[in-house]
């Protein structure tokens, strides 16, 4: 029974990792690519690590799997935020099918100072 459960988790994890790769290739702009890669790869890795912990119920495997999963979940969220912020601040255009643009308008340049007669 445990082998079937771990095998199912391996299959789901590998499928989600594959979908993350396909999402990066198929999505139209950086924001949707970032979402596809972080969500699907994090869930895929979580399923793979859960399957590993079920397949090998030793303390060392479980501690390593939990440590890897925690590190991945923490770092992928931060990395996705940094990538999205950098893309937004650099003025990366959105996909033309985007319905709502909640990004703030870029700041206007300061007014030019009058030249002195010197």
pLDDT digits (tens, 9 = 90+) for 28-53: 888 888 888 888 888 999 999 999 99
Under the banding of pLDDT at 50, 70 and 90, the label for residue 54 is very high
Contact 113, 50 (CB under 8 A): no
What is the C-alpha to C-alpha distance for residues 90 and 88, in angstroms, rounded to an integer? 5
Cα 36 to the chain's mean position, in Å? Answer: 6
Q: Which has more confidence, 107 or 69? A: 69
Give me the residue spans of the domains in the chain. 2-89
Angle at which helices 30-55 and 59-89 pack, to 10 degrees?
180
What is the C-alpha to C-alpha distance for residues 26 and 116, in angstroms, rounded to an integer? 56
What is the C-alpha to C-alpha distance for residues 103 and 25, in angstroms, rounded to an integer? 24
What is the C-alpha to C-alpha distance for residues 58 and 27, in angstroms, rounded to an integer? 40
Q: Which has more confidence, 90 or 54? A: 54
- Tell me if the pTM is above 0.75: no
């Amino acid at each position: 029974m445990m082998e079937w459960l771990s095998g199912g988790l391996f299959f789901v994890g590998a499928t989600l990792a594959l979908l993350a790769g396909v999402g990066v290739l198929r999505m139209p702009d950086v924001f949707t690519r970032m979402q596809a890669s972080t969500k699907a790869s994090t869930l895929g890795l979580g399923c793979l690590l859960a399957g590993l912990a079920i397949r090998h119920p030793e303390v060392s495997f479980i501690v390593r799997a939990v440590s890897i999963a925690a590190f991945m979940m923490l770092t992928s969220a931060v990395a996705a935020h940094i990538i999205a912020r950098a893309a937004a601040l650099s003025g990366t255009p959105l996909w033309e099918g985007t319905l709502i643009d909640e990004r703030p308008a870029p700041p206007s340049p300061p007014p030019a100072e009058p030249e002195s007669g010197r």
